[in-house]
Structure 1
Amino acid sequence: MRRMAMLILGGAVAAAGVGCGSGNSIDSGFYTNKHGENSAMEEKVITVDSTERLKENQQLGLTGEATIMGKKPGTLLRVIVHDVFETAFTDGRTTPPGSRVMAVEIQVVNAGTRVFNDTPASGATVIDAKGKAYKSEPSTVTVDGGEVFPNPFGLQPRDQRTALVPFVVPAGANIKQVGFRIDKGGESGLWRVP
């Protein structure tokens, strides 16, 4: 059931930085925006200065990294969407008729200076080929294929965690994008699903 994420090389990686302002620097072919929160965590990662810039440029493909800044000072996450696959509830919950359960595997690295207390599930969406967005299921569910992000999360600076965010979507929905927003008023990223 699970399909492996397609590694996007070269073009999509470079495209994430095309059109960047003069405040960006190039380091070994990777773009960095130097948010100034934790320089050690910002080296050699693709970063996004703003939601508007990401929308202007090509979306990141699965396995593409984006460093996303939150509204509160010191909130900075490096986010990698690894995979999107069909799964099933394992907690006795029933999938609604005409629906299916999807899971998004996300890696989150706290590149900021403050503890990240929100759960990644609260800022994640999947978007189908028709442009309809679907919100994630609560963090209390369990699904086949891995651990679901807990709530509260409590990720310390420099710590990282990889877990799943589950979604219930119509059976015929063709998931084409994964969206992630760090918090209300913070930056967001958008990933292509092959």
Structure 2
Amino acid sequence: MHARTRIAAALVAVAVGALTITACDTGNTVVDKPKEHAAAKADSGKDAKKGKSSDAAKVGDTLTLKGFEKGSQLDVTVVKVADPGKPADEFTEPDAGKRFVGVQFQLVNTGKAVYSDSPSNGAQVADGEGQQFDSTFADITAGPSMSSSLRLKPGAKGLGWIVFEVPKGSKLDAVQFTMDSGFADQTGEWKLK
């Protein structure tokens, strides 16, 4: 019985390891074509290679992203960017040599499943050097923060700011968002330049 227990434990460890490897190998697709641009391109018959950089999503554009769960889908819009973002109170300051950057996201549940997540877990900003920065817990004067436990039924929307702490000298190039706390297969990307 003791040997069987060890074998069972080893099999469980292998299964968990395989699931962990699978979960970490996500974000295979970058979505950067806004809904309006994708439809216009299909209607006009333009070559997909022409004007590629000008067709990339930018602030104000909406991207449709899918999550892991069947029927899980969001229309995600980067509404505004506050760079630098001013702290909402005198107690919260970025670390020395850094600044706050706020990104206002609008999430609309266009799927059939309830969306339940902490959107800040799946949000990042990146600079032109390729450095990526995760969100931080801070409020800025630009407006209310995104809920850390957002639940949206189909058709519902959420709006709020997600704050990042980045080096003062970094020139931000892109904003990224991935459903399922950053583990879904599709990552939305908006260019800031």
Give the alignment's TM-score, normalised by structure 2: 0.69
> What residue number does 1:90 align with?
88
Change in Cα spacing, 1:109 to 1:125, as seen in structure 2 (3 Å) is: same
Q: Residues 66 and 184 of structure 2 are in contact (CA less than 8 Å); yes or no, is this contact kept in structure 1? A: no
For residues 30 and 156 of structure 1, the distance between their equivalents in structure 2, rounded to whole angstroms, comes to 31
> Post-superposition shift, 1:14?
8.5
Q: Residues 14 and 30 of structure 1 are in contact (CA less than 8 Å); yes or no, is this contact kept in structure 2? A: no
For residues 57 and 185 of structure 1, the distance between their equivalents in structure 2, rounded to whole angstroms, comes to 26
> What residue number does 1:23 align with?
none
Query: Which consecutive aligned stretches of 4+ in structure 1 deviate over 4 angstroms post-superposition?
Result: 12-16, 55-58
> Post-superposition shift, 1:96?
0.6
> What residue number does 2:103 align with?
104
Q: Residues 81 and 191 of structure 1 are in contact (CA less than 8 Å); yes or no, is this contact kept in structure 2? A: yes
> Post-superposition shift, 1:162?
1.7
Identity %: 25
> What residue number does 1:132 align with?
131
Please say if 1:145 is aligned against 2:116: no
1:34-63: CA deviations, max 9, x gaps?
Answer: xxxxxxxxxxxxxxxxxxxxx999531221
Which ranges in structure 2 are unaligned for 5 or more consecutive residues?
1-32, 43-51
Letter in 2 for 1:136: S
Q: Residues 15 and 57 of structure 1 are in contact (CA less than 8 Å); yes or no, is this contact kept in structure 2? A: no
> What residue number does 1:22 align with?
none
SS at match of 1:145: coil
> What residue number does 2:158 align with?
161
Q: Residues 150 and 158 of structure 2 are in contact (CA less than 8 Å); yes or no, is this contact kept in structure 1? A: no
Q: Residues 114 and 151 of structure 2 are in contact (CA less than 8 Å); yes or no, is this contact kept in structure 1? A: yes
Letter in 1 for 2:78: V
> What residue number does 1:60 align with?
57
> Post-superposition shift, 1:186?
3.0
> Post-superposition shift, 1:185?
3.0
Please say if 1:69 is aligned against 2:66: yes
> What residue number does 1:80 align with?
77
The structure with the largest alpha-carbon Rg is 2
Q: Residues 178 and 187 of structure 2 are in contact (CA less than 8 Å); yes or no, is this contact kept in structure 1? A: yes
> Post-superposition shift, 1:15?
9.7
Letter in 1 for 2:86: A
Change in Cα spacing, 1:15 to 1:79, as seen in structure 2 (3 Å) is: closer
What is the RMSD computed on CA atoms of the aligned residues? 2.5
Change in Cα spacing, 1:14 to 1:78, as seen in structure 2 (3 Å) is: closer
Give the alignment's TM-score, normalised by structure 1: 0.69
For residues 14 and 144 of structure 1, the distance between their equivalents in structure 2, rounded to whole angstroms, comes to 30
> Post-superposition shift, 1:76?
0.2
Letter in 1 for 2:150: F
